[in-house]
């Protein structure tokens, strides 16, 4: 579930009350991706944790409060993820890896729908995979790709190390969702 504050990312997306409503009718774990400014990150973590998020990802670009945010997620028993904008060096995530369960690399500029995949996305995934392998994390970190997810790009991203992709139009625009999901799982 993408959450944006209109500042860090240009749109306003999803609010805690929507997540709480979904949590009341579904047992499917929700992964919240916070695209918010440092000043409101901790409050957003509290609100979405209370609403029922199972995983909350913040951005490496929230470096000013990332350590405190990860401490808060630990205290709340929420799995932590981190996301990197397409222009942020992959190495920026290295100090946080031992504390993460998910690492998501964006393949397009943040907050702009319908973009093509950045040509550097596969190499960035390979770099991230190497960092994860060398991190010494005592748990598995799931490597994800988000942005520019198309039927033509998913095989490329999977080949570069993505274990999962964040679906938007690839799922919602599918002629047959079950067939699309079977295809994705087959990769």
Classify strands 55-59 and 102-106 as parallel, antiparallel or unpaired: unpaired
Decide: helix, strand or coil at residue 164: strand
What pLDDT score was predicted for residue 168?
A: 85
Contact between residue 84 and residue 106 where contact means Cβ atoms under 8 Å apart: yes
Question: How sure is the predictor about 2, in pLDDT bands with cuts at 50, 70 and 90?
Answer: confident
Question: How sure is the predictor about 11, in pLDDT bands with cuts at 50, 70 and 90?
Answer: confident
Q: 54-80: per-residue pLDDT in tens?
A: 999 999 999 999 999 999 999 999 999
Among 9-13, 57-61, 139-143, where is mean pLDDT lowest?
A: 9-13
Average pLDDT estimate for 23-44: 95
Give dist(CA 180, CA 158) in Å, integer: 15
Give dist(CA 54, CA 149) in Å, integer: 23
Give the list of residues 6+ apart from residue 105 with CB closer than 8 angstroms, or none. Answer: 83, 84, 86, 90, 121, 124, 125, 128, 143, 144, 145, 146
Which residue spans within the chain are E strands per DSSP?
Answer: 2-5, 12-13, 31-35, 55-59, 79-84, 102-106, 142-146, 164-166
Q: 77-132: per-residue pLDDT in tens?
A: 999 999 999 999 999 999 999 999 999 999 999 877 778 999 999 999 999 999 99
DSSP 98-144: GG-SEEEEESS-TT-TTPPPPTTHHHHHHHHHHHHHHS--SS--EEE
What pLDDT score was predicted for residue 5?
A: 87
Q: 168-186: per-residue pLDDT in tens?
A: 888 988 999 999 999 999 9
Average pLDDT estimate for 128-150: 92
- Residue 85 tokens, joined: 């904008």
What pLDDT score was predicted for residue 61?
A: 97
Task: Report the percentage of the chain scoring pLDDT > 70.
Answer: 100
């Amino acid at each position: 579930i993408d959450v944006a504050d209109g500042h860090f990312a240009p749109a306003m997306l999803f609010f805690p009350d929507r997540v709480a409503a979904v949590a009341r009718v579904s047992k499917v774990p929700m992964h919240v991706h916070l695209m918010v400014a440092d000043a409101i990150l901790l409050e957003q973590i509290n609100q979405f944790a209370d609403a029922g998020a199972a995983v909350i990802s913040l951005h490496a670009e929230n470096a000013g409060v990332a350590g405190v945010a990860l401490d808060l997620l630990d205290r709340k028993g929420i799995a932590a993820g981190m996301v990197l904008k397409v222009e942020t060096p992959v190495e920026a995530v290295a100090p946080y890896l031992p504390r993460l369960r998910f690492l998501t690399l964006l393949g397009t500029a943040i907050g702009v729908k319908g973009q093509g995949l950045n040509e550097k996305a596969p190499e960035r995934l390979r770099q991230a995979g190497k960092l994860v392998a060398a991190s010494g994390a005592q748990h598995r970190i799931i490597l994800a790709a988000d942005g520019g997810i198309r039927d033509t790009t998913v095989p490329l991203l999977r080949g570069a190390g993505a274990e999962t992709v964040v679906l938007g139009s690839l799922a919602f625009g599918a002629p047959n969702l079950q067939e699309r999901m079977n295809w994705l799982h087959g990769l």
